[in-house]
Structures are given as structure tokens and as C-alpha cells.
Structure 1
């Protein structure tokens, strides 16, 4: 039987570190003036957990929620080379946390983005993904993904089949019943239990309260306490992994490294005790190597805005939020003719909104030759947007709209019947998100090439 992916479920944040120097105070108030030297970006929350899991196993899929904004775009760019992403619509801005540091010391933190997962009632692609998983890590950051009722039902079903590791958050929800391992840190465990107790008592109390197979309370440099149905044991940091007492380490992301390493070990068949021992060592080495800062990058470049692009993704999020049916189609649409109009009208009749994925000028040249397109992409987009059947247009540069469809996740992808479904490489992306591919008959006698020839 083919092994499925390790699926990471949770809230993703954009973490930004602004490093600079501070050698003077502001004249208006006794606060330091930071001269910025450089800025670093990285995926945080479940995004960080997914990237860390990808260090330990080859097939990782992140199920998260991202907004239609610059922070969401940057997270997509930071994640796409290492992790496959199934992004659900976010109601509000993508959360970001900006740490201002001078001389390596934190000065302040600026938080932006209040987005939470929309009220998701169903999603066939999500359900199919979790059914295919051979392991699950829930990285809950209290912003709605892990507390959504539909997602929790899918996670509860997964916990009956495969190991589920749950890294809880005080503002989030309790783990679903039957999790193989829950991984609160010591301060979180006290808040969940409602009173301060020794770590071993906290682990045993929460294991019963959460109906989990085991709970590991993490203790930073002191390792972790693991309680299962038979015993409570200590997992200590190996001597060779300890950070010198003279060093004040950055521990940002240590909990994500612990839970991701444990999830990867269970995914690979380790026992729970073995997984926790491996996770303690992995977290210690991660902190010694610079913690989450070691995964930071300079701000990734974003594509220039295109005609119609912001409204296309905003429209998709709104349609899905109200349980509507999103339809998409794509092509060059160079010199609009009755055949195009017939296709667009049929496509629009299949759902509540139609998004047209439009080949850019360079993409058309690669497909049709140097003499095409006849009309530029802005002109073609303007004509399409003027049609009653079209609700939004988004332009793409690639040979096929696969990356675009991975973000839009339409319920229906429509193409003309002059294609066979086997010829459409984007069909697999559409089906992975739970959508269907529909081929409609073309109107005989009409094509742009034929019009140009005439």
C-alpha cells in the first residue's frame, strides 16, 4: 500500500525580524532609535512546523488558511519550494509578527493581521487530503483552523487510523480524542490543567482530560516528561546538544521543532517513547543552531500586480465563505469571438461565479508563436471583464495555470471539448482540491487562428 503524506494542519503566520543598531534615543520620548540594517522573513506557526517536518521526511502537505494580501503572497513564496500548500480562505488579514531587534536584543514586537479561517462547512479536497494522510501534525495557533468543526471531524477520523500529534495553544481548542501524542509546554500545561502542579502530574492529568494516548510536557533545556497509559518517564537533552550556560539562546520555534520531529518519527514507525527522545534532541540542536532565525530569508520577491488579480482571489474567498460554487476556465482569449462567448456562458451557468485564468503575453507567445498575442493582456482582460458571464480575471505567466488553480481551488474547471481531459496537466490540481473537470462542446467554425488567417 502506498504511503500517504505527513499533513500539517494549523494557522500560518508571517514572521519578520528587523535587525539594526541603536545608539541614540528619540528626542520625543526616551525610546531607542533603531537604524535598520536588514530584514528577514520566514513562515511561522504551522508554516514553520511544516518546513521543519520537511527536514525529517520527504512528503509534507500544509493545510492552512491564508489571506489575499501581501503577507499571504510572501508566505506562499517562502513555502512553495519545500512544502505543498492547501490554502483555505482567510476572513481578514494574514497574521504577521515583526520583531525589532538592536544588537541582537529584542526591542519590541509589532503584530498585524486579525484573520481567521472562514466558517468552513465542507471541502472535498480537504477531506480527501486527510483521508490520504499517513500521519498528521496539528500546529494550533488559536486562529480558527484547528477549532473549525468540519476540520475537527476529519482529524478525529484520522486519529483512528494514523498517528496524530497535536501541539495545542491556550487560545485554541483541545486536541481531538485519540491523538497519539499531545505536546504542550510547561506553562501551557498549567493553563490547560487550571492549576500549577509538577510536570509529571500535569502530563497524566491532561492525558486523561484529552483522551489522548500520551502527553509530553516540554520543559525547554530540561527535556520533556512523557505520560502514557503505562508509565511516566523523563526524556532528557543529550549532553552534546546542550547550549552553553553563558549563551542566551533564541528559543523561537523550539516547540514547533519538537512537535514536527515527533510527528515525523511516528510517521516513520517509531514508538511514542522513541519519537519523544528524538524530538527532545532535535529541539535542542535546533536552538543551538540559532532556532527559527536559521530558517529566515531576505524578503522574497513578489510578482507585479496584474489586471484583475486582487479581485479574483477576493471573489473566490467570498464565494467559498458563503458555501457557493466557484467555476474557473482559462485560455488566451486573443480576439474574442462567439466561440469564446459560448464557452464562458456555459461555464458561468455551472456555478455562482466565474473566474477566467488568462495567459500573459509571454505565455501566449510560447504557445502560439512570436506573432501573438494580437491584443495585450490588459486589453484582453478588460474585454473579458466587460462580459456579463465573467466575474473576475486573473493573469498567469506559466505554460499552464496549475499554480493559479492551486490557489483558487475552483469547484469546477471548464475547458472546450477540443481538449481531452488526459491532455490537461492542471486536472490533477483541480481534483486534489475536490473540484471536477468539465469539457464543453466548442462552437464549430470559430477560432482566433482562423480569424487571423482570414
Structure 2
């Protein structure tokens, strides 16, 4: 699929350092720099996501002639760059961070830009697109008449997803627009919060911009889709990723949405796909995953759970894990999981596979498939990730996750809990939490059978 990204190319710089003292003349942290990472930002980040997803990508942009602009083409490996000249300086956004926590951001080149040059090659690239993502960062590229005409023509042929900017141009008619909550408020003046606010803003933008669809992204609450002024909006949600670095999340959402639409997915399905892709991006560490070596997954493991473990451990937090079948989740399960989550900074559930359950419980079990059990567990606020294992015990999975605390609900001791010895190998502890009698899958299944 020939994906074309149209928009403003920025230079993103992440400076990581250690903070152990304040300056003697003011309560200002002193950052001892450990590393510096540069990446293409803005439209360049969208193009990078699409390239990593396996698509042929062309970036249509305006490039400055200063020294910082010369750093950008090498950061766009494998991406075709079709650029007009920008008479303005390159925008550089530098984030200062320590222990994965932001300290400050320094912006350069953000003054009001002059109009960029538009070339025939830029317009030809848009005309050849199978899908288009517009990443507008307010640098005046998308307000140029020739670019707007080319994008409006493209919208009549292929999916065009437009991520608007408060200082950018109004999207052309017929495109799918993806403002976040703050942008939706700024564009419409609508007051409020949550889904009612997002829907009212989407309705107003749909009419004012004559859009094909409006998707208001709502952070951890997913995204709201409007494709008409009649009927009901669609709200698509995904797994909640706590303490995530959300830098680049909007770009990841727009790129995933465009790919889904370009593949023929219905808007409702495409928005759900994009929400899940964005949640996975955040769980993997956000933009840091572009430089990191991908972790080796556990057999059958959910990579998002492993990413949570790595992130919590890197920040000095406590990793808690528990395990079980969790077939027909009941109140006893919920209380055990809540008690376990309270012991640390994340809770990973190691879940018996369907084959493992059959060996342990008999041929009639599980009642629910592993896929359904995973969905239910991940829907619980106290669960940060789920890993499915196929052995009869979770010992091998525990060795790879290496939790600081292993939790079981019930009357266990070291002799009856084989995992206890394994946990000690890296200094972890096995603990039990109170058992709640009268709650069991067997009892629940029997009660259902009686009333069925």
C-alpha cells in the first residue's frame, strides 16, 4: 500500500539524564546527561510508524535550509522524501527526562512561519497515494491552495485522515478528522467533559468541516466516532495503559486508522483497530519503542504484559504476579486480584491455556476459552497484563517474568506451593491473600446448570 504523509517535519530530541541534586542558587534540578536520541517528529513520526508497519511511504513536506534540517533525512531511512523549500527555521522539540519522567520541554523555531514552496513533485506524490495521512503542525503547508486542492481530490478517491492542529488550517471537505479532546474544545468552544462533550463537538465539526467522519480521541477512554448527524455515535475503547508516555499517541492513532481504512475496514472497525494499536504502542513504551530492541516474547505471551513489566522495573517499581485458571470469574477472583494489585505497581496474571486447563480439570473444562478469559481479566482495572502459558504449572512463565511478589489466594504454604522456591532464586517473595469461601467456578457452573 502506497501511504503518503502530508505535513510538517520536525526534529524531536530526547535527552535522558540522572537527577541527584539541585542547583545552589535556585530549586532547579541538575540533569547529568546520560543519552541523547533524535528522531523525525511531526509528519516524520507518522511516516516512521507507517514504514515500520511494512508500507511504502512517501513524506510530502517542506524542508528548511538550516543545519538542523540536514539532520532529518538520515532519520527517515527507507521513506521517500518529497520536499519543497521552507524559508523558516526547523522546529526542534527537546524533552528533558529522568527515570522516564519528563522534566521540561524546550522548543526552538516555533515563531510564525513563512509560506513554504509547493512543487509539482509534491502534488504528484499526493495524486499517486493509496491512502493519505495529513499531520498538520501549524507550519502553513496545509493552507496552501495547491496542496488543499490535491488533498480534496485525493479524498474523493482514497481514505484521507487529517490530524488537525490548533494553529493549522481547516481540514478540506470529505476527510476523516481526528482531534483530541483539547483540540475539539478549541475548535468548537463546546464546554463539558467525557462522551457527551466529545459527541457534541464531533457533531459541530462534522457539519462545519463537511467531514466524511469525525473521530475525537479521548485518551484512556478510547475514541468517539461520528459519521453522520443522525443516529448514535460509536465509542471504541481499549485496554487502559497506566503511567504511559503519550508523546506520539495521536500520530500512532492517525497512522493506524488510515491503514485500516485503506484496507477496506468499515469506519467503526477501523476506529476500534486504531484504538487497540495505540494502546499497544503505549504499552510498549511509546516512542521509546522506536529505538529499543524488541523483547523476546514468552511462548503464547501477550507482549503488552511484558512491556508493562519492563517499564515498571525500569522505574524502580514492584512487579506483582499471580496465576490461575480464572474460568467463570467470580467475586472471590475479584477480591484476590484487588488484594494482589495493592501490593505493588503492576499486576500480571499468568493464565492457564485451554489445553493446560483440560489436563488439570478434565475434558469439560474450561467453560470459557482462553481468549475470553483474557478479555475479561484485561477489562478489570486492577489487572495490568495477562500472559497465557501452556504448562501444568506457571513455574517457567514465572522464571521469565521474575516478579518481585508472587500472590496466591488460599491456604498455601511453602511445601504446597512449588512456585515459592522459584521466586527465591532472584530474591522475590511468595505471599498469600485471604481466601473467600463459598466462591468457586464449580459452584457457579452448577448454579447456572440448575437454572438453565
TM-score per shorter chain, which class? 0.5 to 0.7
Deviation at 1:8, TM superposition (A): 0.5
> Aligned to 1:256, which of 251, 259, 274?
251
* Distance (whole Å) between structure 1 residues aligned to residue 190 and residue 148 of structure 2: 27
**Is 1:24 paired with 2:21?**
yes
Deviation at 1:125, TM superposition (A): 1.1
Tell me which residue corresponds to 2:67: 70
* Distance (whole Å) between structure 1 residues aligned to residue 117 and residue 19 of structure 2: 50
> SS at 1:40's partner residue?
strand
Tell me which residue corresponds to 2:263: 268
Residue correspondence of structure 1 range 105-144 to structure 2 within 5 A = 105-114=101-110, 119-120=115-116, 122-144=118-140
Cα pair 1:223 1:234 within 8 Å, conserved: no
**Is 1:34 paired with 2:31?**
yes
Q: Tell me: CA distance 1:256–1:122, structure 2 relative to 1, closer, same or farther (3 Å).
A: closer
Tell me which residue corresponds to 2:234: 234
Tell me which residue corresponds to 2:166: 170
* Distance (whole Å) between structure 1 residues aligned to residue 115 and residue 13 of structure 2: 28
Q: Tell me: CA distance 1:257–1:290, structure 2 relative to 1, closer, same or farther (3 Å).
A: same
1:352-407 CA-partner distances (Å, limit 9, x unpaired): xxxxxxxxxxxxxxxxxxxxxxxxxxxxxxxxxxxxxxxxxxxxxxxxxxxxxxxx
> SS at 1:212's partner residue?
coil
Tell me which residue corresponds to 2:146: 150
> Aligned to 1:99, which of 95, 101, 112?
95
* Distance (whole Å) between structure 2 residues aligned to residue 164 and residue 290 of structure 1: 28
> Aligned to 1:47, which of 37, 44, 57?
44
* Distance (whole Å) between structure 2 residues aligned to residue 70 and residue 261 of structure 1: 32
| Structure 2: gaps of 5 or more residues | 294-452
> Aligned to 1:191, which of 186, 189, 207?
186
Cα pair 2:116 2:141 within 8 Å, conserved: no
Cα pair 1:19 1:102 within 8 Å, conserved: yes
* Distance (whole Å) between structure 2 residues aligned to residue 253 and residue 266 of structure 1: 20
Deviation at 1:120, TM superposition (A): 4.9
Residue correspondence of structure 1 range 168-317 to structure 2 within 5 A = 168-179=164-175, 181-197=176-192, 198-229=197-228, 230-238=230-238, 241-243=239-241, 247-296=242-291
| Structure 1: gaps of 5 or more residues | 299-454
> SS at 2:123's partner residue?
helix
* Distance (whole Å) between structure 1 residues aligned to residue 55 and residue 117 of structure 2: 31
Cα pair 2:216 2:224 within 8 Å, conserved: yes
* Distance (whole Å) between structure 2 residues aligned to residue 170 and residue 262 of structure 1: 21
Structure 2 length normalisation: TM-score?
A: 0.61
RMSD: 2.0
1:47-74 CA-partner distances (Å, limit 9, x unpaired): 0011112233421111112222332222
Q: Tell me: CA distance 1:202–1:54, structure 2 relative to 1, closer, same or farther (3 Å).
A: same
> SS at 1:41's partner residue?
strand
Deviation at 1:35, TM superposition (A): 0.5
> SS at 1:87's partner residue?
strand
Q: Tell me: CA distance 1:235–1:83, structure 2 relative to 1, closer, same or farther (3 Å).
A: farther
